[in-house]
């Protein structure tokens, strides 16, 4: 029997969508990690409030 190597269009589209979803999830996890570390640093050393607000605005913009 001959095995078909080329994937069907639907499975290819599903794979691409799945990859995008995973990348988005990883990106969100990274943003959450950065904001968590930022808040931890804020509680450790009293950062200027302006810097923290600028960082938070940047995170919200992204």
Tens digit of pLDDT per residue, the chain (62 long)? 556 656 566 676 677 788 888 888 899 998 888 888 877 776 666 656 777 788 788 878 65
pTM, to two decimals: 0.42
29-38 burial, b at 16+ Cβ within 10 Å, e below that, comes to: eeeeeeeeeb
What does the domain layout of the chain look like in residue ranges?
29-62
Alpha-carbon distance of 20 to 58, in angstroms, equals 22
pLDDT on residue 17? 80
Alpha-carbon distance of 32 to 34, in angstroms, equals 6
Q: What is each CA distance from 49 to 11, 21, 39, 41, in whole angstroms?
A: 49, 34, 11, 12
pLDDT on residue 45? 62
pLDDT on residue 15? 74
């Amino acid at each position: 029997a001959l095995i078909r190597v080329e994937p069907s269009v639907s499975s290819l589209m599903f794979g691409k969508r799945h990859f995008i979803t995973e990348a988005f999830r990883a990106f969100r996890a990274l943003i959450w990690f950065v904001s968590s570390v930022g808040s931890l640093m804020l509680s450790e050393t009293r950062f200027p409030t302006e810097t923290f607000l600028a960082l938070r605005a940047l995170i919200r913009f992204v």
